[in-house]
Amino acid sequence: MTPADHAAHDYRAHVISVTDYLYFVDDALDEMVAIVRELGDEHANRRPDVPGSNTPCALLTHCLGVMECWGGELVAGRTIERDRDAEFVAAGRVDELARRVDVARSRLHQDVMLLAPDAALRNPPDPEDADLPFGRRQGAALVHLYRELTQHLGQMQGYRDVMTADWAVLTP
């Protein structure tokens, strides 16, 4: 393909579908819920004895805030109230957290239906994000949302492995 062909080619035909995007988001959420269920209320609310670590419940709660912010506020244009700091100290029962995931998942599915991938965000992002791709376009904001979910899923997988090891040292 020549440079002129590249310029004329419509690459939007190659972008992931909303249905496929939500499949991957749902898969990450399902894995996170499975981890907190496997750990149970006690261990899902404890952190490994590693500086800067979070509990699996706090990480999953943070992911719900990420979905609300990036999907709800910035893509769908909803007004939200978010206490990001509180997400990282959240604790609670696993079954209640799983119900909150179901509600947030359903809301994200609705929010994503309003996506205009190349359009500007419907609300202004944090100033430090404004010049980044995910601070400018809705499609990039959803890629950022997915990146956050998978990053925290990986942390939860590592924490689970550490917390279930025979030699585990846990802190409240």
Evaluate whether 139 touches 117 at the Cβ level (below 8 Å): yes
pTM recorded for the entire structure: 0.88
CATH superfamily to which 16-165 belongs: dinb family like domain (1.20.120.450)
To which H or E segment does residue 171 belong? Answer: strand 170-171
Structure confidence at residue 101 as a pLDDT band (50, 70, 90): very high
Burial class, 131, CB count within 10 angstroms (exposed 0-12 / middle 13-18 / buried 19+): exposed
| Domain positions in the chain | 16-165
Structure confidence at residue 163 as a pLDDT band (50, 70, 90): confident
Structure confidence at residue 8 as a pLDDT band (50, 70, 90): very low
To which H or E segment does residue 47 belong? Answer: strand 47-48
| DSSP SS3 for 30 | helix
